[in-house]
Amino acid sequence: MYFIRCMSHRCVISVQVLLPDQVLTSLCKVPPFTSQSAVQILSAAICVLFQDWLEAEKHTPGEYFPADRIDSAVEVYLRELQAGDAQRATREGYERVRRELRRFW
């Protein structure tokens, strides 16, 4: 989370880093993420982010890639997904991310 506070020509930016299992838990308390359907939409967006990140990293590897942290986050997000057709694409996306992580890292 980012917090920006500006006071006469100076801005202070605070960054709070949440562990993967804290992200959805924290956001579930903040509107519009108070409903389960909104949390599922957020989870789908995180899945796309992971997929894009993996693709970018495969093409132009950086100095450090937190494969182990992403893998543990994917495990958490898979557990939190509800069963059903609506979440099938998200579940398959997370499983694809997990396979790619384990294949390349």
In a domain, 41, yes or no: yes
Per-residue model confidence (pLDDT) at position 21: 55
Instruction: From 54, 69, 68, select the one nearest 20 (Cα to Cα).
Output: 69
In a domain, residue 8? The reply is no
* pLDDT, position 24: 54
User: Is residue 27 one of the residues assigned to a domain?
Assistant: yes
Q: Is residue 10 part of a domain?
A: no
31 phi/psi in degrees, rounded to 5: -60, 145
Domain membership of residue 2 (yes or no) is: no
Quote the pLDDT of residue 20. 54
- Domain count along the chain: 1
- 12-61 tens-digit pLDDT: 444 444 455 555 555 555 566 567 777 788 888 899 999 999 998 888 88
Residue 24 belongs to domain spanning: 18-104
Within 8 A by CB and 6+ apart from 21, the residues are: 73, 76
